[in-house]
């Protein structure tokens, strides 16, 4: 007999459906605030960068602006460097590192490289200190557009 412990939601080896994703989401607790931790630091960089709002995530009553910082002196002949953080919400160091880079080091690259800094790719997961997004999908394992998010069996 196996002594393996299984996750309390779903059936091992069976992909989750809507009921399992809903049950999982209901277990998630907000521990921090994207609108208080990330957005003000991005907005404070408006003199140094163009702030690009490239979308918004809407989950129930929660709204998350998707924000990027773009070099003000963008030149098409220069290479582009993309700095991201917060792909997985529990990786706080990525969010803080991307913001810290923009605040303290980005100016050194002006005129040498075009910078695009996306400090928090998955704000819902950032708030809940979770690997997966609202749809129980790992954004780093599911690139590309899909009609419906897919999830793996847990």
d(CA 30, CA 127) in angstroms, rounded, equals 5
Alpha helices in the chain (DSSP H): 18-26, 34-37, 39-43, 92-104, 123-128
Quickly count: other Cβ atoms within 10 Å of residue 114's Cβ.
19
- Asked if residue 151 belongs to a domain, the reply is no
**10: region left, alpha or beta (phi > 0 left; psi from -120 to 50 alpha):** left
- Asked if residue 9 belongs to a domain, the reply is no
- Asked if residue 36 belongs to a domain, the reply is yes
For each of the chain's 154 residues, which pLDDT tens digit applies? 555 566 788 888 899 999 999 999 999 999 999 999 999 999 999 999 999 999 999 998 999 999 999 999 999 999 999 999 999 999 999 999 999 999 999 999 999 999 999 999 999 999 999 999 999 998 888 776 654 555 444 4
CATH number at residue 85: 3.40.630.10
- Asked if residue 152 belongs to a domain, the reply is no
- Asked if residue 94 belongs to a domain, the reply is yes
- Asked if residue 92 belongs to a domain, the reply is yes
d(CA 10, CA 119) in angstroms, rounded, equals 33
Cβ contact 126:73 at 8 Å: no
- Asked if residue 134 belongs to a domain, the reply is yes
Residue 82: domain span: 31-139
pTM above 0.75, yes or no: yes
Quickly count: other Cβ atoms within 10 Å of residue 28's Cβ.
17
Token digits of residue 120: 């928090």
Total count of domains within the chain: 1
- Asked if residue 89 belongs to a domain, the reply is yes
C-alpha distances out from residue 111 to 22, 33, 49, Å: 48, 34, 13
């Amino acid at each position: 007999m196996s002594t393996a412990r299984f996750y309390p939601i779903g059936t091992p080896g069976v992909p989750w459906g809507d009921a399992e994703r809903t049950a999982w989401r209901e277990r998630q607790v907000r521990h921090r605030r994207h609108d208080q931790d990330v957005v003000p630091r991005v907005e404070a960089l408006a003199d140094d960068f163009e702030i690009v709002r490239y979308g918004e995530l809407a989950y129930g009553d929660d709204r998350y602006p998707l924000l990027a910082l773009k070099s003000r002196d963008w030149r098409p002949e220069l290479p582009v460097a993309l700095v991201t953080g917060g792909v997985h919400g529990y990786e706080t160091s990525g969010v803080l590192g991307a913001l810290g880079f923009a605040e303290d080091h980005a100016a050194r690259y002006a005129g040498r490289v075009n910078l695009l800094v996306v400090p928090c790719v998955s704000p819902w997961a950032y708030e809940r200190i979770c690997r997966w997004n609202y749809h129980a999908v790992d954004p780093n394992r599911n690139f590309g557009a899909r009609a419906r998010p897919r999830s793996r069996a847990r």
